């Protein structure tokens, strides 16, 4: 996206970025390059894990590769909760984002080292850094607008989120091509360079960020910090001792890491939801709204469980069962990962105008109806995949247009659910948990990815029509159930639409 610096007519002395505070340009570029590194690495991850050792990969079974990918995704969103806490209580958003970027950059360069242990340590670094950055950089965008009612505020976030999709679109085309066609580790190194460029824009733009971003909103008292550090060291010591015993006994495999993280990804969101729901400080209306939120949370988890397989199960299907040429033009299968952000950039403005036009005619679907549509669409996409899997028998490879159709359906579903879910979360959030509920919403992605990881650890085959049919039917029926029970759910929402 090209940027221009102009003079704001209302404040001639202030340099702006497309009419917005100048710091938005630096945060836009930081987020764009961070997403470039994230989605570029993710486009390669399952393919690298499952590629034969002779061809430069790790030679893992497809099921193990999908489980690792799903657990990695789950941890990114799970770690957004402590990431937000660190920004609020320890470092402040500005420092937390800087630390996160450095951790992510180190992680990508560790992936570039052709050593198995280095690779998995790198994944842990990227997951931790991504969770920390994700929960703090958006906060700084909001802090650029000192007036909460500034009419430019929503537009600023729109520009910022365009950076996410722009980075996600370009990454598979470049990092994916280099990694898949030239050298895996060079591709991972490119992701590290991308994050380094993002950090450069971030540090150069420090002076343009809001002063509020350098403050710690609710500083952690020294005594409480000491207790937390002590507790963390104890748990770390227990984990190190346990894995040392397993390692020395000679029975350690990657499953010893995947199983605990998968279970954590299922139990923690459940515990967190019911902890809030059972809080006696909540009013009756807030209690009711939390009951309504749980409906949306479960629906979102079912949606993301299917949607996030775009970089794992669908990526393997693209590699093994899909033609890598269209109209005589050959391309690496990682390029399929650019379809979703491309469709988002093309369709998001149209959907925004559509909802406004329908609202003016009093015909806009309710939030519940939009969720139902999203589930039916994502379920239908796996119905398409069921047919495609059946056609790709033996050595037969199907047309790339099958996957184009699937990604299109999933993107339309995403636009019905994701922005609506973010807005709904802020409306249903109890006052006591107003700042935490966005992190709780992201836990739906953790839960959904953890379910897929669990299925893989239990041995469910992803290269079968049953895999696609069963999940597609469950998602579609969930959408129908949400729609049929919409009046009951609406009653729980306490007047929120």
What is the helix (H) or strand (E) element at residue 168, kind and residue range?
A: helix 153-171
Q: Strand pairing partners for 92?
A: none
**What does the angle CA 55 – CA 60 – CA 65 come to, to the nearest 5 degrees?**
115
Question: How many CA atoms, within 13 angstroms, populate the side-chain half-sphere of residue 175?
Answer: 34
Q: Are 97 and 202 in contact (CB under 8 A)?
A: yes
What is the helix (H) or strand (E) element at residue 9, kind and residue range?
A: none
pLDDT band at 12 (very low <50, low <70, confident <90, very high): very low
pLDDT over threshold 80, residue 153: no
Least confident of 304-313, 373-382, 386-395: 386-395
| Domain 18-220 matches domain 257-497 at the CATH topology level | yes
pLDDT at 5: 42
Question: Average pLDDT of the chain?
Answer: 90
Q: Could you tell me which of 193, 142, 202, 204 has the C-alpha nearest to residue 171?
A: 193
Give 173-198 pLDDT, tens digit per residue: 999 999 999 999 999 999 999 999 99
Q: Dig out the tokens for 241 from the structure.
A: 């001792």
pLDDT at 67: 96
Which of the four CATH numbers 3.40.190.10, 3.40.640.10, 3.40.1080.10, 1.20.1250.20 does domain 18-220 have? 1.20.1250.20
Give 388-421 pLDDT, tens digit per residue: 999 987 788 999 999 999 999 999 999 999 888 8
Give 133-146 pLDDT, tens digit per residue: 988 888 888 888 87
Instruction: Please state, in angstroms and rounded to a whole number, the distance separating the CA atoms of residues 443 and 434.
Output: 15
pLDDT over threshold 90, residue 440: no
Give 249-265 pLDDT, tens digit per residue: 888 889 999 999 999 99
pLDDT at 2: 40
Q: Which long-range contacts (CB under 8 A, 24 or more apart) does 156-160 make?
A: 156/20, 156/21, 156/24, 159/18, 159/20, 159/24, 159/28, 160/24, 160/27, 160/28, 160/31
Percent of the chain at pLDDT > 70 equals 96
Give 272-296 pLDDT, tens digit per residue: 998 998 888 889 999 999 999 999 9
pLDDT at 326: 83
What's the whole-model pTM score?
0.91
pLDDT at 181: 93
pLDDT at 446: 96
pLDDT band at 366 (very low <50, low <70, confident <90, very high): confident
pLDDT over threshold 80, residue 480: yes
Question: How many CA atoms, within 13 angstroms, populate the side-chain half-sphere of residue 53?
Answer: 5
Which of the four CATH numbers 1.20.120.160, 1.20.1250.20, 1.10.3720.10, 3.40.50.720 does domain 257-497 have? 1.20.1250.20
Sketch the domain layout of the chain as residue ranges.
18-220, 223-252, 257-497
């Amino acid at each position: 996206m090209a940027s221009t610096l102009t003079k704001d007519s209302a404040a001639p002395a202030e340099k702006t970025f497309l009419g917005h505070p100048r710091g938005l340009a630096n945060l836009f570029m930081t987020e764009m390059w961070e997403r470039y590194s994230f989605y570029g690495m993710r486009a390669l991850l399952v393919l690298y894990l499952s590629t034969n050792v002779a061809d430069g990969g790790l030679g893992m079974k497809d099921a193990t590769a999908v489980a690792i990918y799903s657990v990695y995704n789950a941890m990114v969103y799970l770690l957004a909760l402590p990431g937000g806490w660190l920004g609020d209580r320890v470092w402040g958003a500005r420092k937390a984002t800087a630390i996160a970027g450095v951790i992510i950059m180190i992680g990508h360069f560790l992936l570039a080292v052709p050593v198995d242990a280095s690779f998995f340590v790198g994944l842990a670094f990227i997951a931790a850094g991504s969770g920390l950055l994700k929960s703090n950089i958006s906060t700084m965008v909001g802090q650029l607008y000192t007036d909460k009612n500034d009419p430019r505020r929503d537009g600023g976030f729109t520009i910022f989120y365009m950076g996410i999709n722009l980075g996600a679109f370009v990454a598979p085309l470049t990092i994916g091509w280099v990694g898949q066609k030239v050298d895996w580790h060079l591709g991972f190194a490119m992701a590290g360079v991308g994050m380094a460029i993002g950090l450069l824009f971030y540090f150069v733009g420090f002076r343009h960020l809001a002063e509020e971003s350098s403050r710690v909103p609710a500083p952690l008292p020294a005594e409480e910090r000491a207790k937390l550090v002590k507790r963390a060291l104890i748990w770390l010591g227990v984990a190190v001792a346990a894995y040392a015993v397993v390692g020395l006994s000679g029975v350690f495999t990657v499953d010893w890491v995947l199983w605990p993280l998968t279970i954590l990804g299922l139990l923690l969101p459940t515990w967190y939801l019911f902890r809030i729901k059972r809080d006696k400080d909540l009013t009756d209306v807030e209690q009711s709204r939390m009951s309504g939120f749980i409906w949306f949370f479960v629906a979102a988890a079912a949606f993301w469980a299917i949607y996030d397989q775009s970089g794992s199960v669908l990526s393997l299907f693209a590699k093994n069962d899909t033609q890598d040429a269209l109209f005589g033009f050959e391309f690496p299968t990682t390029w399929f990962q650019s379809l979703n952000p491309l469709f988002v950039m093309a369709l998001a403005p149209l959907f925004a105008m559509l909802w406004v036009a329908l609202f003016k005619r009093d015909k806009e679907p309710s939030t519940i109806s939009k969720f139902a549509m999203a589930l039916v669409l994502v379920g239908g996409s796996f119905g398409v995949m069921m047919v495609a899997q059946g056609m790709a028998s033996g050595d037969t490879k199907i047309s790339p247009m099958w996957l184009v159709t699937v990604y299109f359906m999933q993107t339309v579903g995403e636009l019905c659910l994701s922005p609506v879910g973010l807005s709904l979360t802020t409306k249903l959030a109890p006052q006591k948990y107003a700042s935490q509920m966005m992190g709780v919403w992201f836990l739906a992605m953790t839960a959904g990815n953890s379910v897929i990881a669990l299925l893989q650890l239990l041995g469910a085959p992803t290269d079968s029509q049953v895999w696609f049919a069963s999940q597609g039917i469950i998602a579609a029926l969930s959408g129908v159930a949400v729609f049929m029970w919409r009046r009951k759910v609406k009653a729980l929402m306490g007047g929120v639409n």
